[in-house]
Structure 1
Amino acid sequence: MEEIPARGIGDGEIEPGIQEIHSQSPETPSEIEPSLQDSDFTTSDSDSDDDDSSDDEPDQEYDLATTILNEIKDETYICLICTCEVGPGGKFWSCGDCYRVYHMSCIESWSKKGSSTDVEGNWKCPACNSKHRKQKFQHKCWCKKTLHPPNNPLNPGSCGQSCGVPLNGCIHKCPLPCHPGPHAECNALGPIMKCRCGNHDNQWPCVMTPYLDGWQCEDICEELLPCEIHRCGKTCHDGLCGKCERFIESKCYCGNTTDNIKCHSKQPRKSFGKTKDDNWIGNFQCSVSSEITYDCGNHSELKSCQSVKRKAAHCPLSPDIIKNCPCGQTLIEDLNEGTNRSSCTDPIPTCEKICGKTLACGHKCKWVCHQGECSPCYENIKSDCQCGFNTFISPCKFLMEFSKPTCSRKCTSLLSCRRHRCNKICCQDEKEAMNRERLRKKGIRHNTISTNNRGNRDNEAFNIEASHICLQICNKKLTCGNPDHLCQQTCHTGPCPPCLESSNDDLICHCGQTVVMAPVRCGTQLPQCYSQCMRELPCGHQQMPHNCHPDDVPCSRCTKTVEKWCNCGKNKLKAMCYQTEVFCAERCGKILPCKHHCISNCHSGECICRSICGKKKKYCSHVDRSPCHFPSRCNDTGICNQMVKLTCKCGRLKKDIPCGANSSKTSCEGTTLECDVSCIVQERQEQLEAAFGVSKLSVEPRIKVEDLPYTPGTLKTYKLQTRWCSNIEDTIKRFMKSTENSYHFKPMRKEQRLFIHEISDAYKLFSESQDPDPRRSVFIMKRDDSITSPLSLEKSLEIYENHLKETAKTSKSVTPEVSEQEQFDHNAIIIQDCIPGVTRPELEETVIPIMKESPLVKNPRFYWVEADNYLILPEAHMKVTRTVETELKLLVPTLKAMLSTKFLANTVKLAKVDSHFNIVAMEE
C-alpha cells in the first residue's frame, strides 16, 4: 500500500482526547481497541457535550464556504483589488491559502503589475501575502475540474459534481459538492494495517492511522542473523534484521593475539601449527609483524600478521626462479660460461647492457644492468608551471615528486567576497579566474548581469574556483551598534546578517510610559516617547518642557535667566543658566607678567599680550617695536630698522632711511643730507621770485596714481559711501591729533572693517579685528612712524578719476594696429554674491586648484574688488588670446557648481578688465 502522510482534524489540529490515543497507538495497539469500542458503541450526556465542543472548528470552516457563496449570490462580496462587488454571473479566482475570491480580470492584472510582482513574474496574494508563481489564469470551477462552468444561481462557480480533491495525509477524497474554502474533514475508517513484523492486524480512524511510521507489536523477532549462529532479538520491526553486532572472542591469523570483535566483522582463515592439535582458524589481522623463513633456511622476511601455511614459502632467490641477470636481457649461464647458480646464496651476475626497464614515469632506465631498484629518472622535460603563464625545463624526478614547477607570478584575482585578492604565488586557478572575470564584465556591458542583483551574486559564488573562496572572517560591526558584536561569517558580499543576540529584560524608557516587552533584540531602540521628561537638572531649576528621551541624549539646556560674573570679573550680567562663559564689552586690562595691560576685550582663556615690547634699544634712542617677547631678552645684536627723517642743509631735500644702529655702528639720526641739483634749482627759483616780486612761479608737482596712499577699491568705496567714509576719515584725523595711543571702533560689517584697515595703512597705524561676529570690531593703535595727515580721500579720488579720463582719451586718440593677442572680449572671471561670512582664503582654497588644472591659464591671481566681489586674472591678462578666453569660458560652469555646492558664492561670470584692474564689461 502507498505510504500517505498522517493527517489531523481540520487544519492539522486534533481534539485532546483523540490526540492522546493517537500518540499511543503506534506503540501499544492493545490499549487502542478498548477506547475505540467505547467511543464507537457507547454514548453518554458528557460525551455529547464533548462532541458539540469538538465540532466548533469544522462548523467555522464550513461556514466560511457558505458565507462566500451567500455573499456572492447577494452581490455583497468585495474584491480587494477593485473594491467592487463580486457577482454570481462573473468570472472569479480564489486563493488556495486564504480562500479569498477576486475578479478574474483583477487578479490577472495584479499578477502582472502589482507592487509585489518580481522580475521572474512571481506575485503575492493581496490578502494573505502568500507567494504564487507566474501562471495563466483560466475560468474554472471551485474544484478545478471543469473549464468555463455553467452559470449556477444556487451555487455560483460550482460545477455541481462532488469535490473529489485528495485530502492531505489521507487516502480519501473530499465528499462535499464543488465548493469554495477549506475541504471537509475525513470521518472514514482507515485500512487494516499489519504490524511491522506482519504477525498482527489492526484498524483506526483515518485521521489516526499511522500511514508513514506503521505500528509495532510486542513480539520478539527470532530470525537467524546472516552469521547463522545468533538470532535477532529485537522487538517487532520492519525490513531486514541487519548485521550481527554481538562480540565474540577470536584469534588473529598468526595466533599471537586474541581479542573480542563483532561477529559480522570476522574474516575466517585457517592456519596450521607444527602439529595437528595446534591448527586454528584466525578471524582478524593483528598489528604484530613476524619473521617468515623461506624453505632454504638462509633467507627470511618480516611480514605483517597472516595465516600460517603448512610448508615454508619457496625462496625467491633460488636458482630455479632467477635464471637471468637483473635487467632480464642475458641468461646467467651465458655470463658464467655455461654454468648456472648452484644455490640461492650465489651472487647474481650483471651484464653490460643498458637496463631499459620502464620506470613509473614511463621512461626507460638508462643505467647499466644493476642490482636493486632503478634510480630516479633525471631526463629533462619541458613543463608549464602551475599557473600556466611560464614554461620550465625540469628533471622528470622533480615532476614526479612535485607535480609541476612554481613561478614567481603573484595571482591578483579577486576572491569570492570581491574585497580581497588571492596573492598566491603561481596560482593554478588564475587563468580560470581571469576567464570568469572577463565573462562577468562582458555580461555587465551587455546588461545580462546586474551588479545589484543578489541572485546573480549567489550564482557567481557557486561558480567560483575552490582556491578563490575567501575564508577570512568578516568581523564587521553589526547593525545593532554594539562594538563587541561582530559578524562571524566568512567574508561575503552584501550586507551582514542581523545581530541574533537578545535580552530577557524589558526595554523601558526613563519615565516608564513606553515599554518594549522582552525578548528584546540587540540594537533595538526605544520608540518615540511622547510623555514629559521627568529627569532633574543638576542646577536645580525646573525642567524645560520636552518629550522623554533615551539616557544618552542630553536634556534641553536650562534657559532660566540668572546673574553671572563676566570672564574678566568687572561686571555682573544677566545670562542663561546653561551659559558657562559671559562676556562684557569692556577691555580686560589685567596686568600681565610682562607688566603690560591686556588690551583684548573681555575674553575666555588666559590673557595673551598683544602689545609691542616698548623697551629702549641699547645703541639708539628708539624703542623695540616688535611684539612683546617676555620673558626673553631684547635682541640688541640686530640692526635698528626704525625709519628716521633726514634733511639737507637747506631743508628742501627730505628722506626716510633706517636708523642702522648696532654694536659696531652708530645711528644716522641727526646727520644731514647733501644738497642735490633740485636744491640749486629751487634756490635759483626763489631768487627770481624775489627779484621780480612774484609769489609763486612754479607749478605744484603732479602726484602720480602709483603714489596714491589708497587702493582703487578704497576710493570706489569712498565714492559710493562718501558720508560714512568721510566720518571715518575725520575720526582718524582727530585721533591722530589727540594724545590717546589707541582707539576702538564700534562693531560693524566685514566691508566696513576692510575699509578701516586700508585707510589705517595710509596713516601707518596698527589695525586689528577683534571679537567674533556679529560683535567683531576694529582696534587701531599709533606707531612711531604714523603719519598725521596724508593725502585726503577727496583729493585722491579726484586724481584717480582724472587719470582714468586721460587714459580713456589716450586710448581713443591713439589707434595702433591691434594684434591678434589683444583681440579679446573677456580676460577675467568675476565672483559675485558671496555668502555672508565667507573669507578670501576659503575662496582661494577652492578656486586656485581648479584654475591650475587648466594648462592654458597660467599663474592665476586672486584680487578683491569691492564688497563681496573677487577677480581671477590669468598671467598677462592684457594679452589674452582667443584660446585662453575660450578656456576661461569653459571654467565658469565648473567654478559656479563648486562654489554653489560648498555654499561660498552664487554668481560666477566672465568679465573684461583694463590694465588698472577696472571692470570694463561683464557677461550678461
Structure 2
Amino acid sequence: MPHWIYSQIQQGFPNVNIVYTIHLCENLCHEGSCGPCSLTSTVRCRCGSKTKEVPCAKIQKEDELVFTCEKRCNKKRSCGRHKCGELCCVNVEHKCHLICGYKLNCGLHRCQEPCHRGNCEPCWQSSFDELTCHCGLSVLYPPIACGTKPPECKNLCTRRHECEHPVFHNCHSEEKCPPCTYLTQKWCMGKHEQRSNIPCHLQDISCGLTCNKMLPCETHRCRRICHRGECLAEGSCQQPCMLPRPDCGHPCSAPCHKGSSCPRTTCTAKVAVQCDCGRRKETVVCAEAANSYQRYAAIAMASKLSDMQLGDSMDIGPLLTKKELKQTRLECDQECATLERNRRLAEALQIDSSSDPFNVRSASVYSDSLKEDARKDLKFVTEVEEEIKNLVELANKNYWNFLP
C-alpha cells in the first residue's frame, strides 16, 4: 500500500479495521509517480470476526472500506428476554427497543414501556367514578385505582336465582352465584327411588342399584348401575343369548341376535360327569362330553351288533336320545374295580362296610416321586422310613439321641 494511502486512511477513516501493510513499488527506479498498487490488503469486518482481501487500488473512499459480515449477534438485550439478532454487531450495550406489552396488575391494560427487566410498574390509570357493589349499598368514592375490586357487601344477594329456595350467601361481584346447597328430595337418574337430603345444585343422582330397564331387544335388561341417558348409548345389545340349544339344551351364549336364528357354534357350557360307580367326578365342556358319549354309543352299538349275529335282538333307541346324551358317563378305572370287588366280597362275607375291613379309607397315599424312588432303590427308601419312624418314637419319649 502506498504511503499516501496509508496516511489518508489513518487521517480520514480512523474507524476502519484494516490490517495495515505498507506495500513498496515493485518497478525499477523510474521518474514520476509509481501508479496504483497492484496488491491487496486484508480488511476486517466491524465486529472483527471475519476478514477479506481488498485490492489496494479500490481503497479510495470510506464506503469501500466498510465490511459487514453475516454473523448474527446472539447476545441478550438489556431486557434479558430478547436476543440482539443484529448482523456484525459492534454495540457494547444491547438495548432493547421493543415494547414490553405485559399485562399490568389491573388485568386491563398493558405495559407501554420499553422492554425491561423485573416486574412492570403498577397501572397508573385511575377512575373518578364511584365503585359500588351489585346491590349498590356499599360504595367506594373516587379516585379509584385501576383494577380495584368492588367493595365487600355483607347484605344477602339480591340477584335472580334458578331455584326458589332461601338465599344464604352475601352480595358478590362475581357474575355467577354460588351453587344452592338447600337440601331437597330428588329422584335418581333411573327413577328407581327418591333420595333425601340432596343439595339443590346436584342434578345427576345415582341410587347405586342396577338399572334393570328392558333393552330394545326385548329379551335382556340393562345391567349397568343407575345411570343417565340411554342404556345402549353405543351399538346394540351384546348380552349372551339365553335361548336353549336344540341338541344339548344349554343356552346359546352368542351375542344377542334379535330377529335371527342362533348361530351353529360349539357349546362351551360346563357339565359334571361321573363314572357308573360315582367315584370319579369331573367337570368338562359340553362338546367334549358329547364326543365321549358318541364314542361310548359306538362301542355299545358294536357290541350289540355282535349279539345280533348270534340271533339276539337289539334296541338302539336309548343310545340316540337326548336324555341319554345328558347322562354321559366316565369310564371306571382300576381303583373303581377294586372298590367294587371289595364291596362284593364284604357283602358275601356279611361284613359291615362301615368298619373299613379292607383298610381302604386309611390307606396311605404316596406321591409319584416317592413311588419312583422306591422302584429304583427300595432298600434306601426303607432305611429312610425306619429312621423317620425311630425319630418320631424318640420325640414321643421327650429325648433325642443324635449320632455324631
Aligned match of 1:478 in 85, 104, 110? 104
Match of 1:679 among 320, 333, 345: 333
- Asked if the contact 1:588/1:601 (under 8 Å) is kept, the reply is yes
Letter aligned with residue 607 of structure 1: C
CA distance in 2, matches of 1:522, 1:602: 52
The reply on whether 1:569 has 2:160 as its aligned counterpart is: no
CA shift digits 1:579-602 (9 cap, x unpaired): 333444554322222432123343
* TM-superposition CA deviations, 1:90-148 (whole Å, max 9, x none): xxxxxxxxxxxxxxxxxxxxxxxxxxxxxxxxxxxxxxxxxxxxxxxxxxxxxxxxxxx
The AA in structure 2 aligned to 1:604 is R
What's the counterpart of residue 590 of structure 1? 213
Paired residues, number: 295
2:101–2:112: 8 Å Cα contact kept in structure 1?
Answer: yes
Aligned to 2:81: 419
* 1:356 CA displacement: 9.4
Cα shift readout 1:29-69 (whole Å, capped 9, x = no counterpart): xxxxxxxxxxxxxxxxxxxxxxxxxxxxxxxxxxxxxxxxx
Could you report, residue by residue, the CA deviation over 1:272-318 in whole angstroms, capped at 9, with x for unpaired residues? Answer: xxxxxxxxxxxxxxxxxxxxxxxxxxxxxxxxxxxxxxxxxxxxxxx
How far the C-alpha of 1:520 sits from its partner, in A, is 2.8
For 1:701 and 1:418, the matched residues in 2 are separated by 86
Mark the runs of 5 or more structure 2 residues left unpaired by the alignment. Answer: 10-19, 296-328, 347-356, 368-404
1:630–1:682 Cα change, 3 Å: closer
- The Cα shift of 1:525 comes to 0.6
Give yes or no for the alignment of 1:517 onto 2:180.
Answer: no
Counterpart Cα distance in 1 of 2:179 and 2:192: 30
CA deviation after TM superposition for structure 1 residue 492, in Å? 1.6
* Aligned AA (1:668): E
CA positional deviation for 1:623? 4.7
Equivalent position SS for 2:157: coil
Q: Which amino acid letter does the alignment assign opposite residue 334 of structure 2? A: I
When normalised by structure 2's length, the TM-score is: 0.54
Given residue 542 of structure 1, which amino acid in structure 2 is its aligned partner? P
Note if 1:539 corresponds to 2:163.
Answer: yes
Distance between the aligned counterparts of 1:393 and 1:491, measured in 2? 37
Q: Secondary structure at the match of 2:175?
A: coil
Aligned pair in 2 of structure 1 residues 588, 700: CA closer, same or farther (>3 Å)? farther
Alignment CA distance shift 1:685-1:657 (3 Å): closer
Which residue of 2 is the match for residue 491 of structure 1? 115
Q: Distance in 1 between matches of 2:24 and 2:244?
A: 105
1:500 to 105, 112, 124: 124
1:863-878 pair list within 5 angstroms: none
Structure 2 residue identity aligned to 1:694: F
Deviations 1:315-348 (A, max 9, x none): xxxxxxxxxxxxxxxxxxxxxxxxxxxxxxxxxx
Distance 1:593 1:481, change over 3 A: farther
Are residue 406 (structure 1) and residue 69 (structure 2) matched?
Answer: yes
Q: Secondary structure at the match of 1:395?
A: strand
For residue 509 of structure 1, report the CA deviation from its aligned partner.
0.8
CA distance in 1, matches of 2:251, 2:36: 102
Q: Deviations over 1:828-868 (max 9, x none)?
A: xxxxxxxxxxxxxxxxxxxxxxxxxxxxxxxxxxxxxxxxx
Can you give the 5+ residue segments of structure 1 that lack an aligned partner in the other structure?
1-353, 430-464, 660-666, 704-924
Determine if contact 2:25/2:37 at 8 Å carries over to the other structure: no
- How far, CA to CA, are the matches of 1:471 and 1:420 in structure 2? 10
User: Counterpart of 1:766?
Assistant: none
* Cα pair distance change 1:658/1:405, threshold 3 Å: farther
Contact 1:566/1:584 (CA < 8 Å) preserved in 2? yes
CA drift of 1:508 comes to 0.8
Is the 8 Å Cα contact of residues 44 and 51 (structure 2) preserved in structure 1?
Answer: yes
Q: Secondary structure at the match of 2:333?
A: helix
* Distance in 2, Cα, partners of 1:580 & 1:691: 78
Answer yes or no: is 1:559 the counterpart of 2:182.
yes
Deviations along 1:841-900, one digit per CA (max 9) or x if unpaired, are xxxxxxxxxxxxxxxxxxxxxxxxxxxxxxxxxxxxxxxxxxxxxxxxxxxxxxxxxxxx
* Partner of residue 581 from structure 1, selected from 199, 204, 211: 204
Cα 1:384–1:600, aligned 2, differ >3 Å: closer, same or farther?
same
Secondary structure at the residue paired with 1:683?
helix
Deviation of the 1:558 alpha carbon: 5.2
Distance change (3 Å), C-alpha of 1:586 and 1:387: same
| Structure 1 residue 528 corresponds to structure 2 residue 152 | yes
Aligned-partner SS, 2:341 = helix
Superposed, 1:109-120 pairs within 5 Å as none
Does the 8 A contact of 1:499 with 1:522 survive in 2? yes
The Cα shift of 1:469 comes to: 2.0
Aligned to 1:379: 40
Q: What do the CA deviations read for 1:714-758 (whole angstroms, capped 9, x no partner)?
A: xxxxxxxxxxxxxxxxxxxxxxxxxxxxxxxxxxxxxxxxxxxxx
Q: TM-score, normalised by structure 1?
A: 0.27
Amino acid in structure 2 at the alignment position of 1:478: L
> Counterparts of 1:700 and 1:608 in 2: how far apart (Å)?
59
Residues 699 and 490 of structure 1: is their aligned pair in 2 closer, same or farther, counting only changes over 3 Å?
Answer: farther
SS in 2 for 1:524: coil
Contact conserved, 1:647 with 1:672, CA < 8 A, in 2?
no
The within-5 A match list for 1:137-152 is none
2:62 is equivalent to residue 395 of structure 1:
no
Provide closer, same or farther for how the CA distance between residues 635 and 469 of structure 1 changes in structure 2, counting only shifts above 3 A: farther
State the alpha-carbon separation in 1 of the partners of residues 46 and 154 from structure 2. Answer: 68
- Separation in structure 2 between the aligned mates of residue 376 and residue 400 of structure 1, nearest angstrom: 19
* Structure 1 residue aligned with 2:239: 612
Quick one: structure 1 residues 646 and 556, their matched pair in 2 at CA, closer, same or farther if it must change by over 3 Å? closer
Distance change (3 Å), C-alpha of 1:376 and 1:497: farther
Structure 1 partner of 2:290: 670
| Cα offsets for 1:589-624 (capped at 9, x unmatched) | 222224321233433343258973325699986656
SS at match of 1:671: helix
Amino acid at match of 2:152: Q
Structure 1 pair 414–698 and aligned structure 2 pair: CA distance change class (3 A): farther
CA distance in 1, matches of 2:164, 2:223: 38
Query: Which of 520, 526, 548 is the matching residue for 2:171?
Result: 548
- CA spacing shift, 1:604–1:395, aligned 2, 3 Å: same
